[in-house]
């Protein structure tokens, strides 16, 4: 585990490089952001944006999605992975929002997590991005980077990584920690052939040091 000062340094560097990170999911309002988050599961943001560009011109509210209908929505989403189940979840979420929340998204993570198609990670993303909750969403990028940096024990369990990060990352960084780690994992600390020589965290990274032979097998 990095020292407390090293952890602060990691996030200060990420903050300095990108003070106001933006979501790469295109959206027009809170509802369309939630739809885009559902669609992004196991799918790239680029692929989602290509589909939603036209969808959100037609249907950008729960009522319009319901009027669009399940079969039309399935057809519109067919280029995306898990398109049929995602379409069903979006319809179910729209129905739930209309009947229970006056067509508005609830503004806390626990209620968001009760919506169809919204798991813990997605609820964290929405609560953090739209409503400013200091929660940390863990996707495959965040999990990989957190483990490589030594911020979490090696694991494939997103909840374990979320808990670890919530404990070791200073609270002042929580609102943007996920964004920084996602983007770092997407463009620098990639799964295969990570760009360690171009990494602004290279001197603080256990994974990078191990590659360079600075850690022996007993120290990892």
List the catalytic residues: 121, 139
Report yes or no: 49 and 40 within 8 Å, Cβ to Cβ. Answer: no
Report yes or no: 24 and 48 within 8 Å, Cβ to Cβ. Answer: no
Q: Locate all alpha helices (DSSP H) within the chain, ordered by sequence.
A: 4-17, 30-39, 45-58, 62-68, 70-76, 83-100, 109-113, 120-131, 140-149, 158-168, 174-187, 206-211
Handedness of CA 123, 26, 179, 144 (dihedral sign): positive
Say how many Å lie between the first and final Cα of the chain, rounded. 10
CA pair distance 137, 128, nearest whole angstrom: 8
CA pair distance 140, 61, nearest whole angstrom: 29
Q: Scanning the structure block, which residue is given the tokens 């169809």? A: 116
Report yes or no: 23 and 186 within 8 Å, Cβ to Cβ. Answer: no
């Amino acid at each position: 585990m990095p020292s407390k000062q090293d952890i602060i340094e990691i996030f200060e560097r990420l903050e300095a490089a990108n003070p106001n990170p933006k979501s790469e999911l295109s959206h027009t309002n809170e509802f369309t952001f939630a739809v885009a988050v559902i669609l992004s599961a196991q799918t790239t943001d680029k692929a989602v944006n290509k589909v939603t560009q036209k969808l959100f011109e037609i249907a950008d509210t729960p009522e319009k999605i319901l009027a669009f209908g399940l079969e039309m929505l399935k057809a519109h989403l067919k280029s995306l992975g898990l398109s049929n189940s995602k379409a069903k979840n979006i319809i179910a979420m729209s129905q739930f929002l209309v009947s229970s929340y006056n067509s508005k998204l609830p503004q806390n993570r626990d209620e968001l997590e009760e919506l169809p198609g919204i798991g813990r990670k997605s609820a964290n993303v929405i609560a953090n991005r739209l409503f400013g909750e200091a929660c940390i969403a863990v996707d495959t990028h965040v999990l990989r980077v957190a483990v490589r940096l030594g911020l979490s024990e090696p694991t494939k369990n997103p909840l374990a990584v979320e808990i670890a990060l919530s404990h070791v990352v200073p609270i002042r960084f929580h609102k943007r920690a996920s964004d920084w780690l996602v983007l770092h994992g997407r463009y620098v600390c990639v799964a295969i052939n990570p760009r360690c020589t171009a990494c602004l965290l290279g001197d603080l990274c256990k994974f990078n040091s191990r590659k360079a032979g600075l850690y022996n097998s007993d120290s990892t």
